[in-house]
Structure 1
Amino acid sequence: MSVIKVGVIGTGFSAKSHIEALRRLNGVEVAAISARTLEKAKKAAEQFGIPRYYGNEDDLINDQEIDVVHNCTPNYLHYDINKKVLAVGKHLLSEKPLAMTSEESSELVRLAETKKVVAGVCFNYRHYPLVAQVKELMASDEYGPAHLVYGTYLQDWLLYDTDYNWRLNEEKNGRSRAIADIGSHWCDTVQYVLNQKIVEVFADLKTVYPVRKRPVGEIETFKSGGQDSFEEIKINSEDCGSVLVHFENGAHGVFTVSQVNAGRKNFFTFEIAAQKNTIYWNQEEPNKIWIGRRDQANMELVRDPSLLSDFSSSLAHYPGGHPEGWPDGLKNLFIDFYKAVKAHPNPTSSSFATFEDGHYIMKLIEAILKSHEEKRWVKVETGEVLK
């Protein structure tokens, strides 16, 4: 295919981010968009200059000119839409989570394998140049094996009891919120960097506001309120929490997530303490990694293509001193994904999260919830795919 034509399902924050990143790729065209209503789809199409629009996902999925679908809908729609896309044999990039349960995600993995399409999950933090560099440093054994891994993913967009959007609705978002929404990113990124699965967890989660005040009229994710009229809504999902983890090769770790930490906007960090050195990365300052050393001065490695490995430098598109960040990581994910689409059906070396990765994250989330409920260590099930 000369130009890959893409259909985007959804019109919210994720969809807008996907459209912007897709337009930075060569040989890829955003050709269609769909929404819950034709009017909403038309408005988005006019805003972004997209030639075709649909008032439901079925018409977009069945559009014969669409080669790839990006599923950017709320969580509760992911499984059904992903299943429809795979059923017609189209390549698919889904926002996380892959589904609402591991039973559903298992079915999607099986279907993707049967249809032999390129299928990925949008875990975008893997694709920062310095995250890739940390992965290569750990794989080289230069620093020795990791023994302790710790970090955070902290936000403040749900700090007040009047903060509300669809992610607080269990039917639309799922049983878990902070863990599933942002903790999943931490787990995927660290597992990718270490090339090790988290196999056992002990979780302590907290719902700060068991009752929230929902404004009359919905507000978008990360947007503040300002409404005057509210209704009280019971909340079951967690606002914050910490999880002890064990990795398959023996490393221990802990991470803390929160959506109620004032002043923390997207504070995603990880620190890996290895035998010889410690490595720290902060998503809000993504163009450097701190390297701790005992017998020498500590150092910082900056995002300069001339200083990075070949693969890591391929993710840095500008010279040193020209900052790159969140939108660039998303772009790198898409470059990697569409490299696989262009090569299909011949397999290529890829770094994007597969449906198998997304399925394992579902098993991990379920283990964390079970651990919190039962107040004990829980092993993450192997996540074998149903045949």
Structure 2
Amino acid sequence: MDKIKAGVIGTGFIGPAHVEAVRRLGFVEVVALAASSLEKAKMKAEQLDIPHAYGDYREMLLDPTIQVVHNCTPNYLHHEISMEIIKAGKHVLSEKPLAVSCAESFELLNLAREKRIVHGVNFNYRQFPSVQNLQHMVENGSIGSVHLIHGSYLQDWLLNDTDYDWRLDPKLGGKTRAVADIGSHWCDTVQFVTGKRITSVFADMTTVLPIRKKRISADSEDYEEYKVETEDHASVLLRFHDGTKGVFTVSQISAGRKNRLSFEMNGSLGSAFWNQEEPEKLWVGHREKSNDLLLADSTLFTPEARSSIHHPGGHNEGWPDALKNMMLNFYSYIKEGKDPLKDKPNFATFEDGHASMCVIDAILESHEQEKWVEVKTS
């Protein structure tokens, strides 16, 4: 069988990560790369051994042999570019957040359904083996009825006032930064694991460093002051559709925390805790016996989760492997000719991306109005 041909738009950190993950599948070939300039595209395509480079992604979309396109661009371009990909009749895998507003994500979801293309959002944390295993444990009733969900996603890469990135600019990243960038991952992961939808929120967002120092140029030691309009950290109270309560905190200024997405759920029969920085460990808490530390090993997993782990126990699988699982599930769905309107996917879709975007919009509204806000999905 001929390999599925794919193109990637975007040459920052995540674009090449997509390329690497896709190549690990064996039945997909990345044939084209598009960037903001032809020079940048050619340089990165040569580094990654990709045959075709484009300075305009629209030219790449004209190639009839390309079946799938990855949208790995900054947030503000997600809606525009994904719309063009869908209109070109290509399957699309977008980085998160799906858009910068619930209205935009709703438009994308509707167009994807209308064109019957396969659509995915790279919420790859749900693809970690231990997270997959926990999802089935919850589904099978191992920890009973979940009544409390809490956790955080903590980073430190913007701790200093001299730390700067395009995500600080609302014109490029959207009105929210920490919530959209990492809070979206947290919300998707816990909703996936528990099967519960977030239906209302009460948010408090804080900008700790209202003025930052931005380098005048990449090779300069001189800085100019930059006014920050997005949050450095936020805490959000949650209500789920079945009455379950929750709370989470996101921060990009927590020294020593690199990518610590963690969550705990407390149920009627037990508790469970997972931390992305130690992804091979799942803590399971009990009241009347010793607690368990379940290590990632297919022989210890539920039967439904065993396919998510690919190495023997002790050979710990991490973020790149979760990304590979995302790509494996997405491309296998395409390879098997499944219908996105009929066949249930085992990856996050535009429907999940839209739901996440609506939670983000509600969090923004809640912070601005200082009250509980219902999550509206239409």
TM over 0.5: yes
Cα separation, 1, equivalents of 2:344 and 2:352: 15
1:177 and 2:177 correspond = yes
Task: Report 1:243-322 matches (<5 A).
Answer: 243-322=236-315
Q: Report if the CA contact (8 A) 1:214-1:233 is conserved.
A: yes
Q: Report if the CA contact (8 A) 1:7-1:33 is conserved.
A: yes
Letter in 2 for 1:277: G
Letter in 2 for 1:91: H
Cα separation, 2, equivalents of 1:294 and 1:189: 26
The offset of 1:14, in angstroms, is 0.6
The offset of 1:2, in angstroms, is 2.3
1:360 and 2:355 correspond = yes
Q: Secondary structure at the match of 2:328?
A: helix
Q: Report if the CA contact (8 A) 2:272-2:284 is conserved.
A: yes
Cα separation, 2, equivalents of 1:98 and 1:143: 32
Letter in 2 for 1:371: S
Task: Report 1:16-31 matches (<5 A).
Answer: 16-31=16-31
Q: 2:334 aligns with which of 335, 341, 359?
A: 341
1:103 and 2:103 correspond = yes
Cα separation, 1, equivalents of 2:244 and 2:137: 16
The offset of 1:190, in angstroms, is 0.2
Cα separation, 2, equivalents of 1:348 and 1:27: 21
Q: Report if the CA contact (8 A) 2:184-2:356 is conserved.
A: yes
Task: Report 1:20-59 matches (<5 A).
Answer: 20-59=20-59
Cα separation, 2, equivalents of 1:327 and 1:88: 29
The offset of 1:27, in angstroms, is 0.8
State the match for 2:90 in structure 1: 90
Letter in 2 for 1:350: P
1:165 and 2:160 correspond = no
Q: Secondary structure at the match of 1:189?
A: helix
The offset of 1:348, in angstroms, is 4.1
Q: Report if the CA contact (8 A) 2:162-2:212 is conserved.
A: yes
Q: Per-residue CA shift, 1:308-351, capped at 9, x if unaligned?
A: 12231111100001111000000000001011111224454422
State the match for 2:149 in structure 1: 149
Cα separation, 2, equivalents of 1:227 and 1:273: 51
State the match for 1:136 in structure 2: 136
State the match for 2:212 in structure 1: 212
Cα separation, 1, equivalents of 2:99 and 2:290: 46
Q: Per-residue CA shift, 1:27-71, capped at 9, x if unaligned?
A: 100110011111100001110000111111101111111110000
Q: Secondary structure at the match of 1:291?
A: strand
Cα separation, 2, equivalents of 1:126 and 1:143: 19
Q: Report if the CA contact (8 A) 2:158-2:164 is conserved.
A: yes
1:77 and 2:70 correspond = no
Q: Report if the CA contact (8 A) 1:21-1:327 is conserved.
A: yes
Relative distance call for 1:248 and 1:83 in structure 2 (3 A) is same
Q: Report if the CA contact (8 A) 2:137-2:302 is conserved.
A: no
Cα separation, 2, equivalents of 1:376 and 1:33: 45
Letter in 2 for 1:318: H
State the match for 2:121 in structure 1: 121
Q: Secondary structure at the match of 2:285?
A: strand
The offset of 1:227, in angstroms, is 5.1
The offset of 1:23, in angstroms, is 0.9
Q: Which runs of 5+ in 1 are unaligned?
A: 219-225
Q: Report if the CA contact (8 A) 1:118-1:344 is conserved.
A: no
Cα separation, 2, equivalents of 1:94 and 1:36: 17
Q: Report the TM-score, using the length of structure 2 for normalisation.
A: 0.97
The offset of 1:184, in angstroms, is 0.5
Q: Secondary structure at the match of 2:163?
A: coil
Q: What percent identity do the matched residue pairs reach?
A: 51
Cα separation, 2, equivalents of 1:130 and 1:61: 37
1:237 and 2:239 correspond = no
State the match for 1:222 in structure 2: none
Cα separation, 2, equivalents of 1:168 and 1:12: 16
How well do the aligned residues superpose, as a CA RMSD in angstroms? 1.2
Cα separation, 1, equivalents of 2:19 and 2:41: 14
Aligned pairs, how many?
376
The offset of 1:91, in angstroms, is 0.3
Q: Report if the CA contact (8 A) 2:39-2:55 is conserved.
A: yes
Letter in 2 for 1:107: E
Q: Report the TM-score, using the length of structure 1 for normalisation.
A: 0.95
Q: Which runs of 5+ in 2 are unaligned?
A: none
1:331 and 2:324 correspond = yes
The offset of 1:260, in angstroms, is 0.3
Relative distance call for 1:114 and 1:206 in structure 2 (3 A) is same
The offset of 1:288, in angstroms, is 1.4
Letter in 1 for 2:256: G
Cα separation, 2, equivalents of 1:139 and 1:113: 28
Cα separation, 1, equivalents of 2:283 and 2:43: 45
Q: Report if the CA contact (8 A) 2:203-2:237 is conserved.
A: yes
